[in-house]
């Protein structure tokens, strides 16, 4: 989106000049920058928007004429395609966020992701999930010591004495569900959370980051349907 926004900005700035000045030209640096931007846009969007990618790739060859003149007709066609393309991308982006847990959307997760800070977005979502798990431990046992990471998950998802129940039944299916979610949380801790807990580096791609957000969202939704088991000592006190 950054490359698309940069190229659209040039078109926005240039359209008013073209309107009032016949034979508008561009310097060599601008020409190289615009062509490079259009080339990258075509390449990046080839899979999701093949028609627009192909058409922009074809038209860009005729955007600048000899003597650095801007081809007004081609300029208009490309500009229109870029605006349509941006609207389609924004629509697509808005649609995919409906699959993310609303609590994650209330923080800075979405904002950071949309600005290209993918690792930071996952880090923020990770902290939200961990904070919720810590709160559930405190709800189950207010006297419990502060735990984090794998020890926290082991405590909450213990097969012998779980503090979070994902099913109230006692059938084989219920037991499998309990063990399954326990395994998912433990896997998430090892594969995602431990990689993001201490240092934020911009190493994640957009696709990988969103997949991790979907996983975190799925775990958050699982907690929505779960119940907290109060430890026996607390039940006795009450």
Q: What is the pLDDT of residues 178-234, one digit of tens each?
A: 999 999 999 999 887 766 554 555 678 888 999 999 999 999 999 999 999 998 764
What's the helix, strand, coil split of the chain in %, to 5? 70, 5, 25
Is the CB of residue 49 less than 8 Å from the CB of residue 88?
yes
Contact 192, 212 (CB under 8 A): yes
pTM of the model: 0.65
Over residues 72-109, the pLDDT tens digits come to 999 999 999 999 999 988 887 778 888 899 999 887 89
For position 235, what pLDDT does the model report? 43
């Amino acid at each position: 989106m950054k490359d698309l926004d940069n190229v659209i900005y040039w078109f926005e700035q240039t359209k008013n000049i073209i309107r009032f000045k016949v034979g508008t030209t561009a310097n060599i640096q601008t020409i190289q920058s615009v062509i490079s931007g259009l080339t990258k846009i075509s390449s990046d969007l080839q899979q999701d928007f093949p028609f627009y990618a192909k058409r922009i790739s074809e038209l860009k060859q005729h955007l600048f004429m000899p003597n650095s003149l801007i081809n007004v007709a081609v300029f208009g066609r490309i500009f229109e395609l870029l605006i349509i393309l941006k609207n389609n991308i924004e629509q697509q982006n808005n649609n995919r966020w409906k699959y993310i847990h609303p609590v994650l959307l209330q923080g800075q997760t979405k904002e950071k992701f949309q600005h290209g800070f993918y690792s930071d977005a996952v880090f923020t979502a990770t902290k939200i999930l961990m904070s919720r798990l810590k709160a559930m431990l405190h709800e189950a046992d207010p006297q419990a010591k502060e735990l984090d990471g794998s020890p926290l998950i082991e405590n909450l998802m213990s097969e012998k004495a779980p503090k979070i129940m994902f099913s109230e039944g006692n059938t084989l299916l219920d037991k499998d569900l309990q063990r399954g979610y326990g395994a998912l949380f433990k896997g998430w801790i090892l594969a995602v959370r431990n990689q993001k807990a201490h240092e934020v580096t911009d190493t994640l791609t957009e696709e990988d980051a969103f997949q991790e957000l979907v996983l975190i969202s799925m775990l958050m939704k699982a907690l929505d349907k779960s119940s907290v088991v109060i430890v026996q000592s607390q039940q006795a006190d009450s």
